[in-house]
Amino acid sequence: MAEEALGDLLAFLGRRAEWLSGALARAPPPPARERKVRELWRYCWYVLLSNRCIVDHPVLRKPFTMPSKYVFRHQWLWDSAFHAIVLSTYDVELAKEELLNLFHAQKPDGRIPHEIFLSKAMCRAFWSVDDYSPWTTQPPVLAVAVERILEKRFDEKFAKLAYESLAKYDRWFSERRDADRDGLAAYIDYLESGWDDSVRWDNARDRLELDPGKYRAAYPEARMAPVEAVDLNSLLYLQRLILSKLATRLGRGEESEEWRRFAEATAVKVRELMWDERSGFYYDVYEEDHSKVMVKTPAAFLTMFAGIAEQDQAERLVEHLYSDFWTTFPLPTVSRDDPKYNPRGYWRGRSWVNLIWFTYWGLVRYGFNSEARELAARVVELMAEGPTCSENYDSSTGEPIGVPDYSWSTLIIDIVADAARKYWV
Ligand code: GLC
C-alpha cells in the first residue's frame, strides 16, 4: 500500500521536476559568475515559478502567484505587483497575467482589494466579511509594476485597461482615504499598510481605542487613527505620475496634465509635512493635526525610490541608512535605536527584501552607487548562504525566518540583474 502510494508520489515528483527544469531553462541566465550567486538566482526562479497556480474560482480567473504555497495561499495586491516586476524579466505576458485578477476584482467604487481569498469562508473567518475580499486595500505598488511591464513592451490594450483601472483606483484614494482633502491619503487599518504589526501604528491604534467616535465619523471602518503614511504617499505620487505618462501615450493630453499637476502637488505636500529638518528624516503624520509619528523606519527611503526627496535630504537619509538601519541583514523595519526594536519582531525589526528593493533603487536614482552596491552585496551574500528566499530575516543575525520560499523575496533577482551589470563586472 505504502509502496504503491510512494510509487505515485515518485512519478509525480518526476513530472514536477521535469516541468520545473523546463521552466527554469527559460529563465534568464544568471548574470553573475560566482557559483553562490548563480545558485541563489536559480533557486529564486524556482520559488517564483513554482508558487504560481491555477484555481477554479469566480474572481481568481487567471493564474497567479501565491506569496507562499505553504502558508499564504491567496492572491495579495502588493505581493502580486512585486511578483509581476520580477516576472516581467522572464516573460512579459506572464507578468501581465499576474495582474489581471486584481483589475477584475476592482470594486465599483474603484478600490482594488487587499487580498482575494480562495473561499468566502476564509474571508468571513479573518474579516467577518461575506465576500472573497475584505474592505481594505494594500500599498499601491501596482502602477509601478504596470510601468515596468509597459517599458519592456508597450501593449495598447493592456495600457488602456491599466489606465482606466488605476485612474479609478486613484480617485478612490481621494474619496475614501483623504478626509482632510489635502491630496495625501491615509491608512486607516494597520493591515492595509502591508506593515501589519509595525511600531509605526502603535500610537495610532491607542488613539482610536481611546476615542473611536472621533475617527469613525469620517472612516466608519477605521481600526487606527488615520495616518498619512510616507510610503503610501510616495507610491501615490508615482501612481499619479505614471497615470500622467500613460495618458500622454494614450492621446489624452488634458488628463495627462491634470495627473501631472496632482502628482506634483502630492510631492510638495510630502516634503512640506513629512520632512523633519532637525533629525534629517521623513516621517508619517497623523491626518487629524499633521503632527509627526516620530518612529524612524525604512518607509522614509520610498521618498528616494519615488524621487520626492531633495538631494540634500537624500544625503541625510543615507546617513541614517548607516547609523540606524545597517544591521547584519540591513534595513530592520524599525530603527535599531528604537526602544521597541526587536530583530525578530514581525514588522518590528525583522528585515524584508521588498524594502531592500525600494531602497536599492532609491540609492541608484540619487547616484549613491557605492552604497547601492554595498547593500546589494550584503543581502545577496546572506541569501546565498543556503540559498534561501525566506519571508524575512533576523536583522541582527541574518538568519532566515518567517515562511520559506516566499515569492516577493525573489525581488533580489531584479537587484542582482542590475548590480551585476553595473557593479560586479
Ligand atoms: C503578511 C504581510 C503582508 C503580505 C502578506 C502576504 O500579512 O504582512 O504585507 O502582503 O503577508 O504575503
Ligand 1 centre distance from Cα of residue 424 (Å):
32
User: What are the phi and psi torsion angles at 149 (to 5°)?
Assistant: -65, -45
How far CA 148 is from CA of 153, 398, 416, in Å, comes to 9, 30, 17
pLDDT (mean) for 124-129: 96
Which of the four pLDDT bands, split at 50, 70 and 90, describes residue 145?
very high
- The 10s digit of each residue's pLDDT in 88-99 is 999 999 999 999
Residue from 249, 311, 300, 298 nearest 274 by CA: 300
Angle between helix 411-422 and 369-384 (nearest 10): 130
DSSP state of 338: S
Do 333 and 298 contact (CB within 8 A), yes or no? yes
* Ligand 1 centroid to residue 139 C-alpha, Å: 11
Q: Average pLDDT in the 278-286 region?
A: 98
72 alpha carbon – ligand 1 mean position (Å): 8
Atom 12 of ligand 1 has which residue's CA nearest to it? 67
Report residue 172: phi and psi, to 5°. -60, -40
Whether the pLDDT of residue 144 is over 80: the answer is yes
Ligand 1 atom 2, closest CA: 194
Confidence of residue 5 (pLDDT cuts 50, 70, 90): low
R_g over Cα of the chain: 21
The region of weakest confidence among 18-32, 75-89, 235-249 is: 18-32
314 pLDDT band, cuts 50/70/90, is very high
Q: What is the pLDDT of residue 15?
A: 81
Residue 341 pLDDT level (bands cut at 50, 70, 90):
very high
**pLDDT tier, 20 (very low <50, low <70, confident <90, very high otherwise):** confident
List CB contacts of 27: < 8 A, sequence separation 6 or more. Answer: 42, 45, 49, 90
What is the 403 CA–ligand 1 centroid distance (Å)?
11
Q: What percent of the chain has pLDDT over 70?
A: 99
From the alpha carbon of 391, which atom of ligand 1 is closest? 12
Hey, what's the cell of 148? 515596468
CB atoms within 10 A of CB 377: 14
Strand order in the sheet with 284-286: 227-228, 284-286, 292-293
Among 72, 102, 232, 297, residue to substitute to test ligand 1 (most atoms within 8 Å of Cβ): 72
* Centroid of ligand 1 to alpha carbon of 141 (angstroms): 14
Domain limits, the chain: 16-50+317-425
DSSP string, 190-237: GGGGS-TT-GGGHHHHHHHHH-HHHHHTT-TT-SS--EE-HHHHHHHH
393-421 pLDDT per residue, tens: 999 999 999 999 999 999 999 999 999 98
Q: Which residue type occupies 33?
A: R
- Index of the ligand 1 atom closest to the CA of residue 347: 8
